[in-house]
Structure 1
Amino acid sequence: MNLPGTLKAALFGAALATLAGPALADQLADIKSAGKIITATDMHYAPFDMLTNGEYEGMTKDLFDGVSKEIGAEPVYQDIPWTAELPGLEVKKFDIVIAPVTITPERLERYAFSLPIADATVALVRAAGNDELKQPEDIKGKTVGVQQGTAQFRQLQAFGEKIGGITVKEYGTTDEAYADLAAGRLDAVAGSMPNLTYLVKNRGETFALFDKPTFGDPTYFAWVMRKDAESESFTKAVNDALLKMTDDGRIKTIQEKWLGTYTELPREVPAK
């Protein structure tokens, strides 16, 4: 049986495609094709993520608006409880978790991280009228609030054991912990230094940082993506955008707007 030349060529091409297997998926290509980036964050984590009169704002939004513009896709912002964000990312409910996530060795094994977006060193805040708590060691025997499922929670637990014991009370959001501290139901709240600095700056009549507020090793906040071949292109695009925004001064402007100061951040993802 003789086949026309064009039909032979088509059949040969189809056979080669079958042998080569399916084309590799590419998250960045899919995002650009869809024209949108699906994100997840907890919009109750000032100054990074806040709802003000029903509108989403904060340092995270300003940063990711810039990154999305560089990538060429519109961001879709979703308010998701923190404890559901990383599990949702793994099953591809969103493209990226833009809630500030502390980089830890355990998380690095499981997820791809962006470059750091802020300092995340754990610190302590007290009621403004409580002058007994000055050093981190002063929380021994006290009740300290912290957001559940965070790196700050684990660091607080370890520090409490080191100094002889504390009572740790977990909260779904930091706002709930701050409310209990203001009401006298807690002695202190642990959180990242930027969050607590912002809190005291805006509510200094109610809250005060410890004289020496931080404890533990310096850590950083970053965004989280899936750690697979499909997502490598998207992770690189996010990091390229952050480097460009660092070099042209946009990140400095955003940090100073929300944190009141600028901290130079690593240009590579820290190993721990």
Structure 2
Amino acid sequence: MKTLTFRAAALAGLVAVTPLVAQAEDTTLTVGMSGGYFPFTFVRQDVLQGFEVDVMNAVGEEAGLEIEFETMSFSGLIGALDAGRIDTIANQITITPEREAKFAFTQAYVFDGAQVVTRDGNTDVTGVEDLRGKTVAVNLGSNFEQLLNDLPYADEVNIKTYESNIEQDTALGRVDAFVMDRVSSAQLIKESPLPLQLAGQPFSEIRNALPFRDDAEGRALRDQVDAALTTLRDNGTLTEISVKWFGTDITSNAAE
């Protein structure tokens, strides 16, 4: 698959923050993302943008790193990280026990929930408890497939995986519902002309963080990025970026 490279310096509307360290050396952090998950990472008028882009640009400024973005299909991101083609992934990567056993994660910087979405007017599916006997779409490689498989009635749910465009097939009635994170679902419904609606409340907490390879180099990069995230959280930059894209702060855990 063709890969597009976007350099952070070329992007408009970067968040201005004070560098944590002087950029004495040109150290590049290569960040993988799909560029197709509005409003976290997407391309509009040939410009890569979104919440994740702004966060990583702010991290680069704070940590003294040049951020280089590599876009590819979401399902290929983990393999690219494993192979060393990218240093981390900024694409709503959920912390799971399986991933924690394999990668070195930063602190969580997004707190969200899994959300069922249906065609507008659908009264058969009013929440996750109504997915028995239904066909449900999820993005290929996402954690939402596993969340559905963890349901006590998972054997009664027909899961269909997509590389993209799960919302179109739901709106057209080809599937009964799709599952995505709540904030993306709400923004998608707000921006899209497709007849969609949220079905019920979120059914699982999601914590997103940045994964790095679990070796000496990867852990060192993780620590550098994690320190920058702490500063950006403390000085309000993460909140500012979140409010810009979502109108609310999804970067702090209200339960804590």
TM-score, structure 1 normalization: 0.79
Distance 1:42 1:194, change over 3 A: same
For residues 50 and 252 of structure 1, the distance between their equivalents in structure 2, rounded to whole angstroms, comes to 20
Matches within 5 A, 1:155-194: 155-159=147-151, 161-162=152-153, 165-173=156-164, 176-194=165-183
For residues 66 and 123 of structure 1, the distance between their equivalents in structure 2, rounded to whole angstroms, comes to 28
For residues 54 and 169 of structure 1, the distance between their equivalents in structure 2, rounded to whole angstroms, comes to 30
Name which one, 1 or 2, has greater alpha-carbon Rg.
1
Residue 127 of structure 1 and its aligned partner are, at CA, apart by 0.9
Count of matched residue positions in the alignment of Structure 1 and Structure 2: 231
Asked whether 1:221 is paired with 2:208, we answer: yes
Residue 92 (structure 1) aligned to one of 68, 84, 89? 84
Distance 1:42 1:264, change over 3 A: closer
Paired AA for residue 226 in structure 1? R
Q: Which runs of 5+ in 1 are unaligned?
A: 1-30, 267-272
Question: Contact 1:102 / 1:120 at 8 angstroms: preserved in 2?
Answer: no
Question: Contact 1:137 / 1:163 at 8 angstroms: preserved in 2?
Answer: no
What residue number does 1:241 align with? 228
Paired AA for residue 252 in structure 2? L
In proportion to residue count, which structure has more helix? 1
Residue 61 (structure 1) aligned to one of 53, 60, 63? 53
What residue number does 1:6 align with? none
Asked whether 1:141 is paired with 2:133, we answer: yes
Residue 198 (structure 2) aligned to one of 187, 209, 212? 209
Distance 1:205 1:83, change over 3 A: closer
Q: Which runs of 5+ in 2 are unaligned?
A: 1-22
Paired AA for residue 214 in structure 1? P
Residue 64 of structure 1 and its aligned partner are, at CA, apart by 0.4
Question: Contact 1:119 / 1:194 at 8 angstroms: preserved in 2?
Answer: no
- Percent identity over the alignment is 25
CA deviations on 1:177-232 (whole Å, 9 max, x unpaired) are: 1111121111110011121121122237611101x23213x121111111112222
Q: Secondary structure at the match of 1:184?
A: coil
Q: Secondary structure at the match of 2:93?
A: strand
TM-score, structure 2 normalization: 0.84
